[in-house]
Structure 1
Amino acid sequence: MKKKILVLMGLMCFIVAQAQQGNDDTNEGRKGHHNKMANLTPDQAAELSTKKLTLALDLSEAQQQQVKVLELERAKKNQEMRKMKESKKELTEKERFQYKSDRMDAQIALKAKMKDILTPDQYKKWENLSQKRRGKPHRAKKGQHPQKKQG
């Protein structure tokens, strides 16, 4: 009986160790993913983004063309920003503020354009995808959950 318990505990330790190692590999893969996307041309990045959105949102041909234009525009701006950041190692406070302000303005404009292109259901899905990509949770922050009813 003791041998069985020891074998089970050893097996559980092995499984936990393997699971943690798998998570580390996944995180490294994400970092690599961003580097690979940075090496794409704006046309390639726009094409891939449009295809992903087409699969996720079931876009029509007309919607695909409109979204591709937006994605190409966004990819070109991202490439410019990346080059600017690479050429200048450290941004001043004023430049950092301007950079963040420009990014937010671009996000607001993109959101408005996508709202015009997509159906209400597609737009809702797109917003959820955008939030997941940015890492924002779908529910309220801790401490802001509705109170559970006591029965």
Structure 2
Amino acid sequence: MKKLILLLIMLISVSAFSQDEGRRMGNRANRSPEEMANFASDRMTKMLDLNETQQEQVKSFYLERAEEMQKMRKENSGNLSREDRRKIMQEAALAEDEEMQKILTEEQYQKWQKSREERRRNWQDGNRRRN
């Protein structure tokens, strides 16, 4: 009886974990460009204490970027090589960097760069653990 209960608990916990992971990934993939832009501008506002003008500029930049990426995904679904995707992402990162330099103050920009690098490192560490 104890073994059966233990087995049920293990199955339920594994099932719950896998469903939670699916929801997180699905939510990100199913977000509209407006939701993505709102999320990014809200996160940056909290992190960098943006004024209203900066908030609007950041939001419009991320909205435009999200719409472009969504369009690109639809047009090229699975047709791009790894190298092409890497090149596109590098170009997007450079454009983002240039735009943030225009919008943010020097202090905000430095803080944003540090945060961006930390997120990138965390993402890479997470990918290494999964592989």
For 1:79 and 1:38, how far apart are their aligned partners in 2?
Answer: 10
Question: What's the % identity of the aligned pairs?
Answer: 34
1:73 and 2:64 aligned: yes
Change (3 A) 1:97 1:29: same
Is the aligned partner of 1:113 residue 2:104?
no
Match in the other structure for 1:129 = 115
TM-aligned CA deviation for residue 59 of structure 1: 0.2
Which stretches in structure 1 are left out of the alignment for 5+ residues?
1-20, 138-151
TM-score (norm 1): 0.60
The one-character-per-residue Cα deviations of 1:16-52 (angstroms, maximum 9, x if unpaired) are xxxxx9xxx5x98566434312211101110111111
Is 2:38 the partner of 1:52? no
Which amino acid counterpart does residue 51 of structure 2 have in structure 1? S
Alignment partner of 1:83 is 2:69 = no
Q: TM-score, normalised by structure 2?
A: 0.68
Change (3 A) 1:81 1:132: farther
Shift of 1:117: 0.7
Q: 1:136 offset after TM fit, Å?
A: 5.6
- CA RMSD of superposed structures (Å): 2.6
Equivalent runs, 1:19-58 vs 2, <5 Å: 32-58=23-49
The amino acid that maps onto 1:61 is E
Higher helix share: 2
Greater gyration radius:
1
| Structure 1 residue 76 displacement after superposition | 1.5
